[in-house]
Structure 1
Amino acid sequence: MVKKKTVAPASPRGSKSGGKGARANIRMYRQGFGDCFLITLPRKTSGAYRILIDCGVLLGTDDAEAKMIRVAEDIVKVSGGHIDIVVATHQHWDHLSGFIQASDIFAKLTVGEVWVAWTEDPRDDLANELRQERAQALTALRMSAAAMTMAGDTAGASEIDNLLGFYGATRGASTADALDAVMKMGKLRFCRPADEPTQLKDAAAKVYVLGPPHDAKLIRKTLPSARDPDTYGVAANQLSDNVTAALLPNDAATPFSDLRAIPLALTRGMEFFRAHYWGPGEDAPDWRRIDTAWLDGASELALALDGATNNTSLVLAIELKGGDVLLFVADAQVGNWISWGDLSWKVGGDEMTGPDLLARTIFYKVGHHGSSNATLRANGLAMMKNLSIAAIPVDHQMALRKGWDRIPLQELTEALKSTAKTGVIRSDETPSRAITGVSATDLYFDISI
């Protein structure tokens, strides 16, 4: 369990990675609204085995590049310039931006392997289908945001733009560019839940791939339903079936082809439309107008796309010596979580299941910055009977700037505090009391297991 050592949370230095006697050290960086975790495991011989999971910060973060350069410099320093595994969980800017923003620093690293989900495999038909859907949805949403702006709906356009921010860009780069940069850092592996557990070379740890499921329906299932209301709180936006269907190919939600659509505001200055639709006044009679009502579902489509991308998250359970588990779920949402209940592996003649790994979890990287639909209740947190520390990478002030006032969700935060025996850590807060095995600087938290 957690190392029995109390370190002042505001210590200017923080504990050394992989301190003496520790089975693992987890460094959670505090760059803002985004994920970046450096895991250090002792080797059986000498030295340390290191895994880097994601490295990014939300688009619009103040001094984002400088922050990510500082994080990258620390990663290079503490790792001695070598990372055994770099994990890129999914295509969102707040998980990958650092690989672009601090590319010169990351170029100093040598990397053994790069792990990504099967959803990035060009040889996988379902992966290709999902990528095509994402590309089509992004194109439609960018055009929708532009049309809303032209029609004077700046609030609607801003809402969509905030969600599109998860896909980049800076210096002309997109999230896809960031992922491509990561995938070139080392030997590439596409991870699937069907894979056998990976015994790490020269380290007393085993890694299980829990998600994403190879199931399009589960990937599109991002929110709870009346039949499966297994999350904390009530999602702020419940998607209707027709909106979820908008993620399917050949969507016919808009009345005209994108190539034939004309922004509403432009028609005011076009003679044909003024003569036939607008008339002599500023406003046309309702029955004569071709309006932007077809854009009403754009915000819901943006949320559906965001959720579906989150649900492609690569989820890893790292089993330490003795059977305790470190659980990293990235931004996995409802369908991804549900799929773990059916997983099982044969290990040394015994069976290990997804629920077994949850029951053994002592460290939980809280899903999607503590949002309402990224931690299941009965089939998730309630199963973590041995949970010691929960870590939430979040910046609530940044969330408020984006209009996401329920991140992190208070009900979930309270449930985590009731479950985690040692404590709950938020990257945007320095604890007011000392937490066993945890130290803090302004750049990171170190958690010694």
Structure 2
Amino acid sequence: MNSKYDILIIGGGAAGFFTAINVVEKNPNLKVAILERGKSVLEKVRISGGGRCNVTHACFVPNDLVKFYPRGEKELRGPFHQFCSGDTIEWFEKHGVTLKIEEDGRMFPESDSSQTIIDCFTKATKDLGIDILTSQSVKSIYQTETHFKVQTNSDTFLAEKIVLATGSNPKMWEMLENLGHSIVSAVPSLFTFNIKDARIKDLMGLSTFASVKVKKSKLEASGPLLITHWGMSGPGILRLSAWGARELFDKNYHFAILVNWLNETTFEECIDLLKEIKLENAKKVVAKKAPFEMPNRLWERLVLASGISEETKWADCNKTQLNALANQLTNGEFQVNGKSTFKEEFVTAGGIDLKEVNFKTMESKVIPNLYFAGEILNIDAITGGFNFQNAWTGGFIVAQSIS
């Protein structure tokens, strides 16, 4: 039996639900269904933000917002002028969910529970009469002159228009490739660096502001750096991993980084500062207390790594030792051997080539009446609610153009 719909949305995640709800709100006469391959819907929403759901980010200027997207910066500028984070807040408010802003700009439901977002979406789809069909794994998509025919593991569906919101699903990418789309191969984005080094051994949990460069590369980033059991993490490192997703993949995740623990301070400036400190603290032990804003235990390790013993006083530091210390502080080299996934929020760089999508409508330039929303596209962001914002904006624009 063929089930017939006006619009078929494939993918029961954030982008799929948001698209479906907006389509029917704008055009209540349309018959819409969401097909989900799993047994349940909105699973990524459930676990996101540690189960609190980081809905969006309090960055309200489209031209600033796009800067958080290593891939998609240029393409999202127009869409964000149509539907930005401020519109997201208003949309959820209208649907009974109040969001709050945290210190770092991330926005969560006031309830601090992702279930609030899931309930909001499931209630809206029910009220609007949108069919949610689970355990429907799409096997083929075929386009006739008048409609699409979608074959799943158990049914056949006919629809005039299709929206693909399947995230980073390799099977769907392969299907699209067979239909004539180009796919940028997926590589991990947002990962932490595996580093075994005496200078940071047993310092897990220590956090300090630093700037980090990948040696022999243009990649650099600054921000809080967190020392972990297996190496380094924190916003600065994650930013580097996102912008360097392809380059670091090509290096097979074996490369050197240069860490400036004093952030903007240069080697020369650091030498001058150390000479001043030496004069003022002649009788004090160098390793005892950090003269800069950094954890004392880390300072002690960097002092020892500079060939200065635990008992050495500032007065007894020679030029070679001060140079070595300035080098450790502003240009410490660490060897990265591999990566670890950041939390459960697995983000990939890759997907449908952005040149093949009309960003005014989110329609495919290759296959008419086929639309995209969310991470199925070669768009990704750093953490902070930006990947969801891309899903909401895409879904909103699809709904605009369909109705």
Q: Using structure 1 for the length normalisation, give the TM-score.
A: 0.26
Higher-strand-fraction structure: 2
Q: Using structure 2 for the length normalisation, give the TM-score.
A: 0.28
From the CA coordinates, give the structure whose radius of gyration is larger.
Answer: 2
